[in-house]
Structure 1
Amino acid sequence: YPNAVTVGGHTHTQENLVAGETRKEWAEAGIEKLPNTQIVAGAVSGDWYSGGLNADGLPYSFTQDASEPGVLTLEYDGASRSERYTVRNESDDHQLLLGVNSPQWRDWAQKAQEWQDADKEGEAPEAVSERVVTRDDLKQGDSWLTSSFLAGTSDARVEVSFDGKAPKQSEHTQPGKGEALAKGWEFTDPYTASQNLRTSGSVGQSSSHLWRTEIPSDLDLGTHSAEVTGTDRYGRDFTKTVRFTVVEDEAAAKTESQKLLRKDGFDTQQKKEVRDPKGLDSEEAKSARND
């Protein structure tokens, strides 16, 4: 059955693994290569409706492997098949989640994880924005523009253009070419992980659909842009732009982070006014029944 595909769920995560991929752990278990394409379909509830609330009063529900709540659609034409993932309340073009993974962010992430593991005892470590990076971090390297390409496969392609310059090809963190599972903060999507580390704590530190591109070390202080284009295995292109800020030092990073976090609505001290749902137990429903 050369056109077979296995589709599963239940884990509230998202994977799209192509037939023929290899992984060290699979080989040790006696699986030489993946016999057919395997898709883990995500979930309309994301990570069990976890995390903070967005402006509409709905949980962000980012999954531990950097996906958003949504629906997988499979389309068949004879033996041919294609799939797409549609995020809740978004168009089909919304396929990329972008952030900056820097040494400073990883240091905060580890502290936030330890705070979560300690049942949130004491004050949470002061949050940093995933769109701020210090000049020192850029100079020492290992600062990446990360792209979570929803339902992305190992044969997809991601390119990044910094400030309008020639695009660079991104590195797929889980290429499926015999490597061991790449796990750690350096293989984590900072966009979704930042929200989860401040709320639900659900972060897997790995993702099958994460790409990363090293940020140029010579960027000037100030705001910069990165235009990311993801091309899926069916030739469909998706483009998104993110702006990030280069600051002098950690003190400046804290100031800039607090400003961006408030603007993004991720300030954990901010109280959100959420209207009571008009369900069967609402006053409106009770009044209607009485009438």
Structure 2
Amino acid sequence: MKTIKWAVLSCMLSLAVNAQQKATGYVFEDENRNGKKDRNEKGIAGVSVTNGEDVIATDAKGSYELSLKEGQSLAVIKPAGYSLPVNAQNLPQFYYSYRPEGSPKSDFKGIAPTGKLPKSVDFALLPAQEEDRFTALIFGDPQPYTEQEVAYFAKGIVNEVEGIQDVVFGLSLGDLVGNDLDLFSPYITAVQRVGIPWFNLMGNHDMNFDAPSDDLSDETYESYFGPANYAFNYGKVHFLVLDDILYPDPREGKGYWGGFREDQLRFIENDLALVPKDHLVVVAFHIPLSEPQGDPFRDADRERLFKALRPFENTLSLSAHTHIQRQDYFTEAQGWQGKKPHHEYNVGTTSGDWYSGAFNEQGVPVSTMRDGTPKGYAFIHFDGNTYKTDYKVAGKPAAYQMEIFAPKVLAQGKGTKAGIYTNFFMGAEGDTVEYRVDAGEWKPMDYINEQDPSYEATIYEWDTAEVLIAGKRGSNPVKSTHLWWGKIPTKLDLGTHTIEVKATDRYGKTHLGTASYRLEEPVK
């Protein structure tokens, strides 16, 4: 009996050893750029390496040792002053996926068998001249469901930024595709044309929906892009990129919920423990932390994230998912423990309102979002440990930062309940928005939480049309978080009158917009 027990115990110990191994290797300066550590190439000390949970720094020789089990990935956390190698499609190469037997069988192909763990898993870095002032390009939800929508994305967004200058890298904030994971390849081909290193993160439409557990829901994503949780540094900014979708929803086993697994939370805590406290920490994920409706994010996970961020005075969160645009500020009332509010920029999407609306002159759906924000993309401008955000409407000049809605014609001298509405796309409650008519006195506009009438008007066109309109009707309007209102004067001369709007953003920058209306004699 003792022999049998020992045999069983021995087998169990053997399985445990096989399940978790020691990975070793070097982070090195790849002088000849061949991707391999040659004998004369030196290791780099003090660089963070992770298995997706533990995070350690390389020793004086650039070497590391980490435990590794099947299903995990090793990744280097790029330090400032170095760049990552990229493949032919401009995807950064910073990881080694460990799947000895390959990913579990799924509707979409995962990672091919990687076989036995190599004796040394090395990570190449390239010396780079990095400035503390730099700009990143941000895409929210490309989310094509078909090859045709990939073409809309490429024509309406990528064409506009192809070959862009003075932008060091790009990042897509999830929902890279719309459920059909075979579209990852055409999405990558489209974004490759931007011509800069491109990072990605996973959205709720990028998952393996047949996965039995959350840790397996990203196998196809990882086969294309690498770990769903990773980090890198640029200048004095630390970027922490996370999968914040729990699937299946642990509450009921169906759908998804915003939040993190325990291993992800430990990765966040271990990673941030090695980041200088005077750096700006940018956390990027798909589902926003805020709860405008329902309960989309697990409170305990948000609280633990906030606790990990507490030592940092300068922080920013980036999210997408909502297909609107919003600025949220977390204070002590929302569980934030920092000295100043935590800003989350919920970025407008490149797909807009899911490729809906009439076709523009490019043959691409206009796809204005439900809150009246036109589809587009964002820039984050960094300066040391500070930042400024910009939003660029696709197909419009950079100065187009607002849409003004006013009646086209009114009766002279007659009172009206109509007014002037300004949708300041990057605005938030507390911003200053003013207007004047015919170069008169500037007057403040009132912040309101209503539906954007400009967007409502486009929806009514579909609902009142007596012939079919090409394309597809947009979603029903929702209340906008960046809308202002002012009275429209009618006791002026007959004729056309010019409306000017001046909006001052959180950085003190002024944005201008104009519109007009006409006064005619009342109809008797």
Which one-letter code corresponds to 2:518 in the other structure? T
Q: Is the 8 A contact 1:99 1:131 kept in 2?
A: no
CA contact (8 A) 1:197 1:203 kept: no
Question: Could you tell me which amino acid in structure 2 is paired with residue 151 of structure 1?
Answer: M
Residues 381 and 387, structure 2, Cα contact 8 Å, conserved in 1: yes
**Aligned equivalents of 1:147, 1:21: Cα separation in 2:** 31
SS at match of 1:207: coil
Q: 1:157 to 1:52 in 2, by over 3 A?
A: same
Equivalent position to 1:218, from 483, 491, 496: 491
- Cα distance, 1:132 vs. partner? 3.5
- Alignment check: 8 A CA contact 1:8 1:40 kept: yes
Partner of 2:454: 191
What is the CA deviation profile of residues 90-144 of structure 1, one whole-angstrom value per residue up to 9, with x for unaligned ones? Answer: 23211011112xxxxxxxxxxxxxxxxxxxxxxxxxxxxx5344558x514x322
Q: Say whether the 8 Å CA contact 2:451–2:480 is kept in structure 1.
A: yes
CA contact (8 A) 2:452 2:477 kept: no
| Residue 391 of structure 2 is aligned to residue 85 of structure 1 | yes
SS in 1 for 2:515: strand
User: Does the 8 Å CA contact 1:62/1:196 hold for their aligned counterparts?
Assistant: no
Q: Indicate the residue corresponding to 1:10 in structure 2.
A: 321
Moved more, 82-91 or 200-209: 200-209
Which residue of 1 is the match for residue 405 of structure 2?
Answer: 99
Where in structure 2 are the equivalents of 1:243-254 lying within 5 Å? 243-247=516-520
Match of 2:425 in 1: 150
Q: Could you say which residue in structure 2 is the equivalent of 1:49?
A: 355
Q: Report the secondary structure of 2:440's partner residue.
A: coil
Q: Does residue 514 of structure 2 align to residue 238 of structure 1?
A: no
Does the 8 A contact of 2:497 with 2:517 survive in 1?
yes
Instruction: Tell me if the contact between 2:356 and 2:474 (Cα under 8 Å) persists in the aligned partners.
Output: no
State how far apart, in whole Å, the 2-side matches of 1:227 and 1:150 are: 16
Please report the TM-score for the alignment, with normalisation by the length of structure 1: 0.61
Q: CA deviation at 1:190?
A: 2.1
Distance 1:20 1:172, change over 3 A: farther
Residue of structure 1 in register with 2:368 after alignment:
62
Q: What is the letter of the counterpart of residue 96 of structure 1? A: M
Given residue 212 of structure 1, which amino acid in structure 2 is its aligned partner?
W
How many percent of aligned residue pairs carry the same amino acid? 29
Residue by residue over 1:159-218, the C-alpha shift from the partner in whole angstroms, topping out at 9 and shown as x without a partner, is 111111111111111xxxxxxxx3xxxx23222221133232524341111111111242
- Aligned-partner Cα distance in 1 for 2:458–2:411: 21
Residues 69-107 of structure 1, C-alpha deviations (whole Å, 9 max, x = no match):
10011122232111000011223211011112xxxxxxx
Deviation at 1:20, TM superposition (A): 4.2
SS of equivalent to 1:18: strand
Alpha-carbon separation, structure 2, partners of 1:79 and 1:4:
9
Moved more, 149-158 or 194-203: 194-203
Map of 1:139 onto structure 2? 415
- 2:381 is aligned, of 64, 67, 75, to 75
1:150-169 maps to which residues of 2 (within 5 A)?
A: 150-169=425-444
Aligned mates of 1:21, 1:237 — CA distance in 2: 30
Separation in 2, partners of 1:21, 1:213 = 33
Match of 1:236, as an amino acid?
A: K
Letter in 2 for 1:139: G
* 8 Å Cα contact 1:49-1:59 kept in structure 2: yes
CA change 1:96–1:17 in 2 (3 A) is same
Q: Is the 8 A contact 1:17 1:154 kept in 2?
A: no
Task: Using the TM superposition, give the Cα deviation of residue 247 of structure 1 relative to its aligned residue in structure 2, in angstroms.
Answer: 4.4
Say what the alpha-carbon RMSD is for the aligned residues: 3.0
Give the alignment's TM-score, normalised by structure 2: 0.35
Q: Deviations over 1:14-42 (max 9, x none)?
A: 001234498xxx8xxx99xx952121100
Distance 1:236 1:166 in 2: 20
Q: In structure 1, the residue corresponding to 2:415 is in which secondary structure? A: helix
Q: Distance in 2 between matches of 1:42 and 1:82?
A: 16
Between the two proteins, the alignment pairs up a number of residues equal to 202
Cα displacement (A) at 1:245: 2.3
TM-superposition CA deviations, 1:216-262 (whole Å, max 9, x none): 2423443211011111111211112101223456x89xxxxxxxxxx
Structure 1: which amino acid aligns with 2:415?
K
Does the C-alpha gap of structure 1 residues 50 and 132 become closer, same or farther in structure 2, counting only changes over 3 Å? farther
Partner of 1:118: none
8 Å CA contact 2:327–2:346 kept in 1: the answer is: yes
* 1:37 counterpart = 2:343: yes
Aligned partner of residue 197 in structure 1, secondary structure: helix
- Paired residue for 2:169? none
